[in-house]
Structure 1
Amino acid sequence: MGISGFEPSYLVGIDAVRQAHGARLAALTGRRLTGIALVRFAEDGDWYADCPVVLDFEGTRVEICHRTFDELSFGWDTIHTSAAITGWEWSELSPQWSHHDDRLQAFVGLRLLGVALLEWRPGTRDLADGTVAPEFVFDVGRLRITNGLDENSIEVGPTPPEFVRYEPVPRPCS
């Protein structure tokens, strides 16, 4: 994708994501969301949803990217959002990092109250069945980066009932 530092490691399924990233996601709780970054095209400002969504929590950046119908990658402090995006000779449009998004702006500056991992489990089987999404909880609402069926989707508001909610780190048995 020509994104400096972006080396995705895609995982499939709630157990794999929790094991690989649960503890780091949980450790974000209590931090403020201090910045965001996503890729837009310079010509029209449209969001390119195939590229990662970067959320900065007081210097710890989590980089979220969905691919195909069930793959999810988390990166940690690897993407250089100040670097130009290169290697897009196949496209007539010019991608660039944007640090503004109307859906995300309401959360910038707020303290993160909690994180969950969500697994899509509708009543009937569909293409998204089993996909995993992180959800970030703030006092003004919830923010999810979900699988938009082969790209990222940004959702704000109450958690849809089709999602099963998991703590990022399994609780020990007592």
Structure 2
Amino acid sequence: MFDFDIARYQPQWLNGRDAVTRQHGRRLGALRGRTLTRVWVAWDLKDDEWFCDCPVLLDFEGEQVEINHYRFDDIALTWATIDPHRPVRWPGFDLAWRPERLAELRALRGLTLQSVELLEWTGDDVAQGSVDVSFVFHTGRVTVFTDLGASR
């Protein structure tokens, strides 16, 4: 698996809601009541668009969770391992970390997290068992979900 040439980034891939809950449930739950201060995404500088194959970084008052999907049902959550002020590399692309490049994310900045939901796809297809992480706020939510192996 490609590590984006990110120092200290070593994703541990999990499958299924139970595995994510066992590994990260307590820490995700501890984010409740914290303010969303930043959301970083890898930005393709040439095409001026979100490069969704890289992890999504959500910062809640200094507690940064990093979410990435791989293949159809692999998910990795890491905690404060990625410095968005450092380069991100992918062969053939000119990438950089950018905060709140999407209007929907800017609208959530500064809001207090109400809850975190782990959503598992139960459809009868190749995505069955994939886990998405949804952060719920009083006036909206952001869900990091898999899109054929990329995080959206």
Q: What is the TM-score with the length of structure 1 in the denominator?
A: 0.81
The Cα shift of 1:5 comes to: 3.0
- Paired position in structure 1 for 2:106: 105
The aligned amino acid for 1:137 is V
Please show how residues 23-172 of structure 1 align to structure 2 within 5 Å.
23-86=26-89, 88=90, 90-91=91-92, 93-100=93-100, 101-122=102-123, 125-153=124-152
The aligned amino acid for 1:149 is L
Name stretches of at least 5 consecutive residues in structure 1 with no aligned partner: 154-174
The Cα shift of 1:142 comes to: 1.9
Name stretches of at least 5 consecutive residues in structure 2 with no aligned partner: none
**Could you tell me how far apart the structure 2 residues matched to 1:95 and 1:113 are?**
32
How much is the aligned-residue C-alpha RMSD, in angstroms?
1.1
Moved over 3 A (4+): none
Helix, strand or coil at the partner of 1:23: helix
The aligned amino acid for 2:142 is L
Question: Size of the alignment, in residue pairs?
Answer: 148
The aligned amino acid for 2:78 is G
Aligned residues with identical type, % of pairs: 40
The aligned amino acid for 1:57 is F
**Could you tell me how far apart the structure 2 residues matched to 1:104 and 1:4 are?**
26
Please show how residues 4-23 of structure 1 align to structure 2 within 5 Å.
4-23=7-26
Q: For residues 137-164 of structure 1, what are the alpha-carbon distances to aligned partners after superposition, in whole Å with 9 as ceiling and x for unaligned?
A: 10111211011111112xxxxxxxxxxx
The Cα shift of 1:102 comes to: 1.8
The aligned amino acid for 1:38 is V
Mapped contact 1:134–1:144 kept (Cα < 8 A) = yes
Q: What is the TM-score with the length of structure 2 in the denominator?
A: 0.93
